[in-house]
Structure 1
Amino acid sequence: MGVTIHAKSDSEVTSIDASSPPRSPRRALYYVQSPSHSQQHDVEKMSYGSSPFGSPAHHYHCSPIHHSRESSTSRFSASLKNPIRNHQLAVWKRIPRTNDDDPDEDNDDDDDGKSNVMRFYMLCFLLSFIVLFTIFSLILWAASLPYKPKIFVKSMVFENLNVQAGIDGTGVQTDMLTLNSTVRIYYRNPATFFGVHVTATPLELHYYMLKVASGQMKKFYEPRKSKRIVVAVLQGHQIPLYGAIPLLSDAKDRIQSVSVPLNLTFVMRSRAYILGRLVKPKFYVHISCQVTLRGNHLGKHINLTTSGSCK
């Protein structure tokens, strides 16, 4: 079997390179395989027979085929002797080449990661602060509950009473009642770490369902561990009776002998502000007192603490 070697001139190579499209920077790995033993034997015989010198050894050393075969054989044998290098080449061949990442993108990724971590820590801190502050507020609120204000009606005085005939707003003739009274209320704030703002609903005097007098207590602020006496005025002016209180109608000319049971009701509201306005404990005290209006006790204080008529 003959082997023909074609040599290319520099012009052909230049033209081929100029016409061929540009190649990628990857370098292909080529493996050169040496001819088989039979092919080598045939080439040697052909070279020996055609040698003009008649010396096979001389032809063997001078033939270009010998140099090509020797170089290819040496390369192939060297590759067989160095399996580690072959493995590295194979691994290098299998790994695809990728372009290097943009350093700006890496910096952006790092910044995004840091910002996410900072947001996570800030969220954890905010949630922890809210939980701790809520627990602390609940503790203060629970600690304020035992400090309920001490309130009771100390005394009451009916200053004047007048019953006379009159006409209501619709023109109906009936007896008209005029009444003035004063209520003294004892208030004490036992709290040790907060003051309270105190208000009250209108104080009302009723004869069963008929309201005969009412008044408003002024709001005030009571510091911690302090007390005071609050005075409220109740008045009833030209209240039509429509015969609802026959005792007064029958004895309007002799008021000194009348005795009318009345009911005093109101609600005291106390509110404390702890930590500004964040913790606001509230205390409501409902007060109801049974008091008797006597004509012969006008202008005299009626002690309501000893009688136990208030609850």
Structure 2
Amino acid sequence: MTIRHLQIFIAVCETMNMTHAARQLHISQPSITQAIHELEDHYGLLLFHRLGRRIFVTAAGQHLLQYAYQITSLIEKAETGMKSLQNQIPIRLGASITIGEVLLVELLQHEHVRLPGQEILSEIHNTKELEQRLMEDKLDLALIEGRLTSPYLTALPFLTDELTAIAAPQNPWSRKEIRQCHDLDHIPVFLRESGSGTRELFARIMDDHAIPYHVCGVYNNSEAIKKAVIANLGTAFLSRRLVQREIEEGLLCELPLPGLSFQRIFQIVYHKDKFLTPSMTHIIRECLTIQNWLPGTHPGEGI
């Protein structure tokens, strides 16, 4: 005996017609008849008298009907209560430092409107730390731009991004002729900390092309790096999204990067065994369609 059996039984009792009950529940009449027979076999009692084409509820059927009303009502209350509880459990959302500076606040504002009442606890860490926190179930979802190492994580790409080389207008590197990648040899750069996806991408591309560089500072904050470059203390390779305004205002210059591509993918990541609530699924879906609502993104930038 299942909840479905009781729902069918209630419909037959209320309509006193199996055809009408089938229409009300959007199932076939034979399915209605079978369910009633299964109930009668289960209890060993006759629930309906059949007189010609008419049916009448027996005393046993009336007794069961009262239980059926209470059971189905309790199930509905449980469904409503548990679904409302979903919004009471905060979603733990992490973001890498770059993504935190580029779009995390906009995502939180977007979800505040789309998921009213749903609390979202946000954290910013580098890629390595985010991966560890996902593995330890200290985060539900994370927005990451770096490479992942764990096979237990599911990563869905949602936005392309690219690093660009920047320098202050008065910096000699802004006036240097850069026609091939090795014209960048020994460039003085400020780097992000170890474990950063930005640093990993920069180091990998430079090493792949055997381009030596001089480290003049290591910061765990892209804004601090940007200020150091504006102050003419060195150069840096940061997301173009982070420095676009300063470039347009003339505070920074972009350096040519002949033969080099520092493109990467922003991903939303979760543990492959994670139970995704409807609210978590909604956040994932909104990230995958981010070009439809995030200012400054365009069709084709999404994945």
TM-score range relative to shorter protein: under 0.3
TM-score (norm 2): 0.25
The answer to which structure, 1 or 2, has the higher relative contact order (CA under 8 A, 6+ apart) is: 2
Comparing both structures, which one devotes a greater share of its residues to strand?
A: 1
TM-score (norm 1): 0.25
Comparing both structures, which one devotes a greater share of its residues to helix?
A: 2
